[in-house]
Amino acid sequence: MPYKDFREFIEALIKSGDLHQVNKEVDWNLEAGAIMRKGCEEIGPAVLFDKIKDYPKGYKVAGNPLASFRRLAIALDMPPDSSYTEILNRYDEGKKKPVKPVLVKDGPCKEEIHIGDDVDLYKFPALIVHGGDGGRYLCTWHITATKDPDSEWVNWGMYRAMIHNKNTMGGIILPFQHIGMIYAKYEKRSEPMPFAIAIAPEPVTAFIGASNIPYGVSEADIIGGHRGEPLSVIKCETNDLLVPATSEIIIEGEIPPYERLPEGPFGEFPGYEAGGKAPRPVYHVTAITNRKNPILTASNMGMPIDDCDVINSISYASDLRSELIKSGLPITGIYMPPECCTFMLVVSTKTPYSGIAHRIASCVWGTKGGAAIPKIIIVEDDVDPSNMREVFHAFATAHHPVRGTHIISNTQGHSLIPYLSQHDRTYGIGANVFYDCTWPKDWSKEELPKKQSFKDAYPKETQEKVLNNWREYGF
């Protein structure tokens, strides 16, 4: 059964031992963020802070909700120890059969309603997440809903937002993200863009909000598909947008055209502070509604493994696997190492003809998601792409430094890529590379190096005998 709200998800995490409750009071200024950061780097459990300094008891913060594959599996209603490939397969299934949300008249997110002068963003214990952050970030694990002015399409995505004052926030709105494409249309018309932010929705909503769902497709329908039942949505108080009815906090308002205020810096997904303080669009808040004793969700992007790394590792790999199979490429496995912050992908493949690695790389880079992956390692199908010992071995021994390295300049880059120069970050100029670790097709069978591994260097009978007698050898 899918979770009806974030609170049911917390119960499931407690039951499986994947959530740690901190009863001691913690400071919203850095202390909670530092505890979460250590949790990410140690792949620890999610953290529920029961008491935040300056805030009434009951105003909890839930940190790192999806920062492990175990927690993502639990969110998808799977056993916590599901394998990477099992989660990928589940994601593949869920996205195939969208289910439209149902509109409800009443829901927990309306337990308290604050409109106009009653709006105060400081009512919630927003964190200063990282040392160096430009302010208190209220929105780091949520969805932001905006409607395309030219159609009925409503987009839900996870885009950070920092508090400027009691009723305004600022955030990064990138032109290649769906919110950026939609906002550009409002700016062209010189009209404000209505928005609604749902903080702490049930977990599949946050997962899909941060995944690459195609342009023009409503994430709400895909969420229904993954849940196997429709999401309940409810109308906002001050605009016509619909939000998940069981969310903990809803923030409504509009983003005027062309207005900018300095926002940032913020610790970002590549594992560095990035983007600096810069003029960015302004969220004017017209209403806040929330559950009683609301739980504020928070992520802590930085050195892996955080929510972003886990979500992207599954959603990118699943989408790209589908694209590669659709293109008829004989791939046998795919893995996006969460340690690489979406900058690297590993694909294993059969090689029935020459040039497979080129076709794989071109196919990946031709998609919206894949365009954001500058490095691809392509290995033979006897290498498990999710086993870094095997991948490093293939890279070190099967990849020719000249013949196997294919560099492409002037690709789509972006401002958060740490190794790009300031100039290239400003203009979004990137560079890509793929490392072909497959054997050349013009080498004869005799020329091909023979791998000395248990499964490659012994006859089947010897392998079976050894495996069957393993205990008898005294191991």
Cα separation values, 360 from 351, 384, 399, 437, 462, Å: 11, 17, 16, 13, 36
Q: How is residue 379 written in tokens?
A: 């290995």
Give yes or no for residue 159 binding ligand FMN (CB under 6 A).
yes
Segment contacting ligand FMN by CB under 6 A, of 73-81, 82-90, 156-164, 317-325 = 156-164
Helices 84-94 and 307-326: crossing angle in degrees, nearest 10, is 70
Segment contacting ligand FMN by CB under 6 A, of 154-162, 256-264, 350-358, 403-411 = 154-162
- Considering beta carbons, is residue 193 or 213 the nearer one to Mn ion? 213
The number of residues that bind ligand FMN (CB under 6 A) is: 21
Q: How many Cβ atoms from other residues are within 10 Å of residue 3's Cβ?
A: 21
Q: Answer for the pair 391, 379: CB distance below 8 angstroms, yes or no.
A: yes
Q: Measured between alpha carbons, how far is 348 from 420 in angstroms, rounded to an integer? A: 28
Binding site for Mn ion (CB under 5 A): 155, 178, 213
10 Å CB burial of residue 186 (0-12, 13-18, 19+) is buried
Shortest distance, position 390 Cβ to ligand FMN, whole Å: 28
Q: Measured between alpha carbons, how far is 28 from 446 in angstroms, rounded to an integer? A: 64
Cis ω for the linkage preceding 352 (within 30 of 0): no
Segment contacting ligand FMN by CB under 6 A, of 118-126, 206-214, 328-336, 383-391 = 206-214
Among residues 70, 160, 164, 414, the one that binds ligand FMN under rule CB under 6 A = 160
Q: How is residue 388 written in tokens?
A: 């870094």
- Which among ligand FMN, Mn ion, none contacts residue 126 (Cβ within 5 to 8 A by kind)? none
- Considering beta carbons, is residue 368 or 399 the nearer one to Mn ion? 368
- Which among ligand FMN, Mn ion, none contacts residue 225 (Cβ within 5 to 8 A by kind)? none
Shortest distance, position 155 Cβ to Mn ion, whole Å: 4
Segment contacting ligand FMN by CB under 6 A, of 7-15, 43-51, 175-183, 248-256 = 175-183
Amino acid at 363: C
**Length of the chain, please?**
475
- Considering beta carbons, is residue 203 or 265 the nearer one to Mn ion? 203
253-292 mask for ligand FMN (x: CB under 6 A)? Answer: ----------------------------------------
What is the DSSP track for 252-277?
EEEE-SS--EEE--EE-TTSSEES-S
Q: Answer for the pair 99, 2: CB distance below 8 angstroms, yes or no.
A: no
Q: Answer for the pair 100, 238: CB distance below 8 angstroms, yes or no.
A: no
297-336 residues near ligand FMN, rule: CB under 6 A: 299, 301, 307-308, 311
Give yes or no for residue 158 binding ligand FMN (CB under 6 A).
yes
Q: Which residues bind ligand FMN (CB under 6 A)?
A: 140-141, 155, 157-160, 172, 174, 177-179, 210-213, 299, 301, 307-308, 311
